[in-house]
Structure 1
């Protein structure tokens, strides 16, 4: 899928990418929500480059396992 079409599947807001915190605030999307015992809820955010990388990993894993790949679900396990 074309990069811009893939990125359009996500809702982007300013935030800190979990892989690139040194870049500061940039356009990010929530890819996972975790629930630490001591602190309610934490949203794991990824920048555009990381979402593209994560989607490529998911697509390759789907092809290797014979699973169906559906774009727009970076951070989720294949189903």
Structure 2
């Protein structure tokens, strides 16, 4: 699957990438949710480069373990 096809599986809006906060607000996708003590629910957002990097990691792990890989489910992994 091509890069843009993978990115199209996510919903994008302006936000701060958890790995690159210094970039400020850029197009990001929700890749998970965390629940800090006493602070409700917080979205974990990632920029396009980070989404692709995380998808590559998932694909490689699936290949190593003999599991199936289906892109577009980063949030499912982190929840």
**Pairwise mapping of residues 1-79 of structure 1 onto structure 2 (< 5 A)?**
1-77=1-77
String of CA shifts for 1:22-68, please: whole Å, max 9, x gaps: 00000000000011121010100000000000000000000000110
Pairwise CA RMSD? 0.9
TM-score, with length taken from structure 1: 0.93
Q: Which runs of 4+ in 1 moved over 6 A?
A: none
Note if contact 2:15-2:27 (Cα within 8 Å) is conserved in structure 1. Answer: yes
Pairs aligned (count):
77
Shift of 1:72: 0.2
Structure 2 runs not aligned, ≥5 long: none
TM-score, with length taken from structure 2: 0.93
State how far apart, in whole Å, the 1-side matches of 2:58 and 2:74 are: 7
Note if contact 2:33-2:75 (Cα within 8 Å) is conserved in structure 1. Answer: no
State how far apart, in whole Å, the 2-side matches of 1:76 and 1:18 are: 17
Note if contact 2:29-2:46 (Cα within 8 Å) is conserved in structure 1. Answer: yes
